Amino acid sequence: MKKILLFLLLLSQSILFSQTILNSSVLNLNKPSENGQLINAENIKTHEVFVFASDNKTINILKYNKSLFLSNQFKDTLRAEQKRVMMGYSFGEDGNPTLYWGSDNHKNIRIIKYNLETKTSNALSFDFPANTGNIITSFQKNNTFYVLSKEKDQEHLLLFQFKNDKCEIKMFNFTPFSFQNERGQAVSFSALVQYHYPIEKMETDDFSALDKTEKKSKMYVLDERIILTFDYNTKHTQVFSLNMQTNEVMEKIFDTPDTQTGPKTTNSFYLENKLYQISANSEQLLFSLKDFDSGKSIKNISVSKNDTISFKNSPMFLQVNGEKPQKLKTTAKFLKQLSTVNATLSAFKNRQYTFVTFGGFASYQSLSVNYGDGFNNVQNASKMVFFDTAINSDFEFVKDSQIEPLAIDNLNYFMSTSKNIAMISILKVTDFYILGYYDTVSKSYIMRKFTDGFMDQSAGNPIINKAIFSKSLPLNRN
């Protein structure tokens, strides 16, 4: 379900955001709010941009050249015997796209290659082997489509690579490695990721929200390798580098910062060959930034409950159940709330700075009892605490007066204030973001460009305090 968090407006009544309409194309989709699926994609070799928009009957393919002018389009009938999910895409050597349509039971993929020049399509079918097990995630890299799975009760992961009408299966073996919690109790790799801490895929070109980064097992997709980080043991972060060409698995161990008193919660985040680590309890917050290759510390920060957090660029917030967030006035109050959730952090980089959100998140179920009829109502609940900061290329904290809003902030604000949008897809290109969405009033697919910074102030609206652009609340894509 799409979540748009609206508290970006807390500190202001208006905003100027940097965005431009690039294109608009009429598409008559059948009940897009119910049946619609949308993907924006870039062919990284040609830098052409494609739009795949479907309802329950047809697929519409729009092709834009690298200058983002519409150069071709194709409408094809969906001939699957059942509704399928558009899992992803790839591009062939001829530049034509292939879409991968997954079945509800994740046992089969319908592979359809589209030829925009001849306006034809060719369908194939792929059945996953019986030993495939649970699908962890699917993703695209270098114009290739991948599916990562965990074979049940086996000490390895399976990676399915779809390319040139073939599927190659790669296996990453974790049998040589040991897994232990802080009490020294052994656990198998299979049990760890299958039952205790399922792997969550992080974004590498976008901000990952705290409700994702609080997970103890994370996955990062790079050009030729996959990074897995495990923070189930509060004493260290256990990291694996999976080579997607050779199937080699390499292990690294990074000790976590150690609090002076009491138990702690720990977590980490990987970004551009750096590992960001956090340790926290009600008395203290510790942060460590380490070089991934050497393991050497680049930056260490310690904050006690009696300190003032001088490097934050936003207020300290507490948000419960997605409601309007509250400001926490002291570090002691922030750490007290942080000790009740899973400590975590998230990092995102643009050309100038690395933006880091410190905080924590927890989801749980609450039980309300109606004594009149004896009916018990179980409700999902959540709590998040956080503040934002930024680091420059010399790994020094930056004052918020030097920072302009990010493109993703501008995009999120636009989404939070827009109506008549049935479905969205976000594409990060070299210097900006492209937001694609279907407008239910104009019955059109619209493409907007979002860049860092403010628009021209001549419009007459006041520029707001930059601290409202909290990076812990991006627009979810599901």
What single-letter amino acid sits at 82?
Answer: Q
Q: What burial letters (b/e) apply to 214-234, b meaning 16+ CB within 10 Å?
A: bbbbbbbbeeebbbbbbbbbb
Cβ neighbours for 113, distance < 8 A, ≥ 6 positions apart: 92, 96, 97, 98, 121, 122, 124, 165
DSSP string, 301-333: EEEETTS--TT-SS-EEEEETTS--EEE-SHHH
Q: What is the pLDDT of residue 259?
A: 82
pLDDT digits (tens, 9 = 90+) for 80-106: 666 889 999 999 999 999 999 998 888
pLDDT number for residue 368? 60
Q: Which residue has the tokens 């001088």?
A: 310
Model confidence at 203, in pLDDT bands (50, 70, 90)? Answer: confident
Which of 186 and 454 is assigned the larger pLDDT?
A: 186
Q: What pLDDT, on a 0 to 100 scale, did the predictor assign at position 371?
A: 56
Sequence-ordered alpha helix ranges (H) in 317-422: 331-338, 407-416
Q: What is the pLDDT of residues 434-456, one digit of tens each?
A: 999 999 999 999 999 998 876 54
pLDDT at 406: 82
Give the pLDDT of residue 379: 76
Which of 15-29, 332-346, 359-373 is predicted most confidently? Answer: 332-346
Q: Is 411 helix (H, G, I), strand (E, B) or coil?
A: helix
Q: Report yes or no on whether pTM surpasses 0.85.
A: yes
Residue 356 pLDDT greater than 60, yes or no: yes
- Band (467; pLDDT cuts 50, 70, 90): very low
pLDDT of residue 460: 32
What is d(CA 55, CA 131) in angstroms, rounded to the nearest whole number? Answer: 32
- Given this model, what pLDDT does residue 26 score? 93
**SS3 call for 441:** coil
Share of the chain above pLDDT 70, in %: 87
CA geometry: angle at 32 spanning 27 and 35, to 5°? 125
Structural tokens at position 190 = 């299979």
First to last CA, the chain: 6
> Per-residue pLDDT averaged across 195-204, rounded?
92
Beta-carbon neighbour count of residue 382 at 10 Å? 15
Residue 471 has pLDDT above 50, yes or no: no
Position 462 pLDDT exceeds 70: no
Burial 311-349 (b: 16+ CB within 10 A, else e): bbbbbbbbbeeeeebeebeebebbbbbbbebbbbbbbbb
Average pLDDT over residues 135-153: 94
Q: In this structure, how many other beta carbons lie within 10 angstroms of the beta carbon of residue 79?
A: 9
The per-residue pLDDT for 401 is 63
- Indicate whether 389 pLDDT > 80: yes
Contacts 24+ apart (CB under 8 A), 259-263: 259/283, 259/284, 259/286, 260/284, 263/234
Structure tokens that stand for 126 in this block: 């792929």
Backbone φ, ψ for residue 110 (5° rounding): -95, 120
Q: What is the mean pLDDT of residues 300-306?
A: 95
Per-residue pLDDT of 259-296, as tens digits, reads: 878 788 999 999 999 999 999 999 999 999 999 999 99
Beta strands at 200-201 and 217-221: parallel, antiparallel or unpaired: parallel
Q: How far is CA 452 from CA 210, 313, 430, 478, in A?
A: 22, 17, 12, 24
Mean pLDDT, rounded, for 142-158: 94
Phi, psi at residue 413, to the nearest 5°?
A: -65, -45
Sign of CA dihedral 227, 228, 230, 231: positive
Q: How far apart are CA 441 and CA 332, in angstroms?
A: 49
**Which among 326, 425, 441, 378 has a CA at the least distance from the CA of 89?**
425
Band (241; pLDDT cuts 50, 70, 90): very high
Rounded CA separation 327/283 (Å): 19
Cα 156 from Cα 201, distance rounded (Å) = 17
141, two tokens: 């890299």
Among 354, 427, 423, which residue's Cα sits nearest to residue 392?
354
Q: Judge whether 314 and 388 are in contact, CB under 8 Å.
A: yes
Mean pLDDT of 411-439: 89
Burial code of 274-294, b = ≥16 C-beta within 10 A, e = fewer?
bbbbbbbbbbbbbbbbbebee
pLDDT given at position 373: 58
- Report the chain's mean pLDDT, rounded to a whole number: 86
> Pick from 43, 44, 48, 46: which is nearest to 65 by CA?
48
Please report which confidence band the pLDDT of residue 419 belongs to, taking 50, 70 and 90 as the band edges.
confident
**78 φ, ψ (degrees, to nearest 5):** -80, 125
Question: 54-74: per-residue pLDDT in tens?
Answer: 999 999 999 999 999 999 999
Beta strand 225-230 with 236-243 is antiparallel
Task: Tell me which long-range contacts 436-439 makes (C-beta under 8 A, separation of at least 24).
Answer: 436/38, 436/40, 436/51, 437/38, 438/27, 438/29, 438/32, 438/36, 438/38, 438/53
Residue 463 has pLDDT above 60, yes or no: no
Residue spans of the domains in the chain: they are: 182-403
pLDDT exceeds 50 at position 128:
yes
Token pair 């062939």 is at which residue?
Answer: 92
